Chain A
């Protein structure tokens, strides 16, 4: 077949030949090893300093909100996995919580404990991944290998639970479908016993490292007003002085029964965010120890329910479906037609590892949501780069993008 030229002609977008000023337009393209996904940053540079930054997103826009308008609620659950694909269960959980609040369901206690365990494990996974990639971008490649090793332990535990390493779909509307496997608690305890030493190893490598401190301290300072105005939440906001954590302020699940602290800083630079992530890992470990105890108490009290009992919306347990006729019929109807929640709307926000992950569901009584809006924290954390980057140098761009912890599945949905 003859070679047919394609229509992509080479063009020099970053070099304009007739400019009077010294400005260079640099395209930090959609494929870049430090771009954490598909971020296209167009930077106007004056020698090495940035005068204008324009982030261009949308290279991973897959149309999830429109998909939700065409899928039943349970069918949409695996799609939410792919939003923040590093901590998948937190997206699943946010969606499940939103639908449960819309319907008015009460989830059984054992399922709540398991969900909390999954959420905190996902938080640890997400923070370890953040540490690995940020360190890799700045040049500390050892941390990348060590943090991924820790992450592999956690992924093994979750794979033993639900079968998937990365995109879990382990949480359903109404509870969890599976009980934890036999050596889940044992493996989790072994991991948690090693975790403080591991975190201390990373801190020893990084905290007093001159290069790390020079690249992180004083760089990317976000003031409180800018953080509030740009809709920053999560560690970005806590680093800028506002101690706002949805697990404490609007407690969901059983977070009001566990004790943990919320680290915050009032400096707002990269180093503050780094310290907050490390402290949050320790707090997550604390929560996990307490949830292990809560789970064992649940087992002792004999609470075995894993899914809420609401026959209009939730299917029966599998054993009933396989043996009872009416359970099978109801399950069939729920799977083929979908559950029909009441008419109304709800906005529910949870504290995902990246920030406030919100789901706005407007239901008109049909099996498909009429409008589902996903409030992803990384969307505005990418937008803040417009105001944050001018004044910094090019190497700072990499460290700032690293510490803002952007995941492009969320930004573009």
Chain B
């Protein structure tokens, strides 16, 4: 993971007081997370497998959408190379708020086993990440557990439009 001077926690980590509007909106958002198909490498195959018949993704309300404008969560699955880094930033910018990022697998977390010249050492050098999933490749159950954790995180935060947007800089 990158070590940059970004303050991630809202309110210093204390539990946030939520109104019922927040709760309803969060409930809706968390149970219909539409994912952007962002399978880059081997983890993309596991992502596809987790959307297929055995580990169904549809039961979370998650549908894979190809267009970033229609997606809520971007699951970065696979190695991010320097040639591709420009495009992930473009796609992230095109996603409409509220948006979240799950970094799936070692290569997306930290560059993985590819400690080379052409690999970005972690996709969080480019975009802010909400959830890191370890594994190489993480099992589909891990990805689904990660989605459930993200749902919990969404439900724990405020939902207002004045949400302090996550920006890397």
Contacts and interface: CB of A to CB of B under 8 A. Distances in A.
Interface of A: 1, 3-4, 6, 8, 29-33, 37-38, 58-63, 66-67, 78-79, 82, 85-86, 129, 132-133, 144-146, 148-149, 151-152, 155, 165-167, 408-409, 412
Q: How large is the interface on B (under 10, 10 to 19, 20 to 34, 35 or more residues)?
A: 35 or more
A59 B53 contact: no
B135 to A, nearest CB: 10
A408 B87 contact: no
Interface string B68-101: 0000000000110101101101110100000000
B32 to A, nearest CB: 20
A255 B38 CA distance: 39
Contacts of A165: 46, 49, 137, 139
Contacts of A66: 116-117
Of all A-B residue pairs in the complex, the 4 with the closest CB atoms, nearest first, are: A63-B116, A148-B52, A85-B42, A145-B53
Given A38-B84, A165-B46, A165-B139, A33 B66 contact: yes
B83 A61 contact: yes
A62 B119 contact: yes
Contacts of B39: 37
B62 interface: no
Given A1-B6, A166-B137, A149 B54 contact: yes
Contact of B118 (A30, A33, A62): A62
Contacts of A4: 169
A126 to B, nearest CB: 11
B114 A67 contact: yes
A144 B52 contact: yes
Contacts of A146: 53
A62 B79 contact: yes
B134 interface: no
A412 B80 CA distance: 13
A37 B44 contact: yes
A32 B66 contact: yes
Given A1-B167, A60-B40, A29 B87 contact: yes
B14 to A, nearest CB: 21
B40 to A, nearest CB: 6
A67 B115 CA distance: 8
B45 A85 contact: yes
Contacts of B79: 60, 62
Nearest to B36: A31
B37 interface: yes
Contacts of A78: 113
B42 A62 contact: no
A29 B1 CA distance: 27
A60 B42 CA distance: 11
Contacts of B114: 62-63, 67
A283 B65 CA distance: 37
Contacts of B41: 37, 60, 82, 85, 408-409
B156 interface: no
A409 B78 CA distance: 10
Contact of B81 (A61, A148, A149, A166): A61
Nearest to B55: A152
A151 B64 CA distance: 21
B50 to A, nearest CB: 10
B136 interface: yes
Interface in B1-51: 6, 37-42, 44-46, 48-49
Contacts of B48: 133, 148
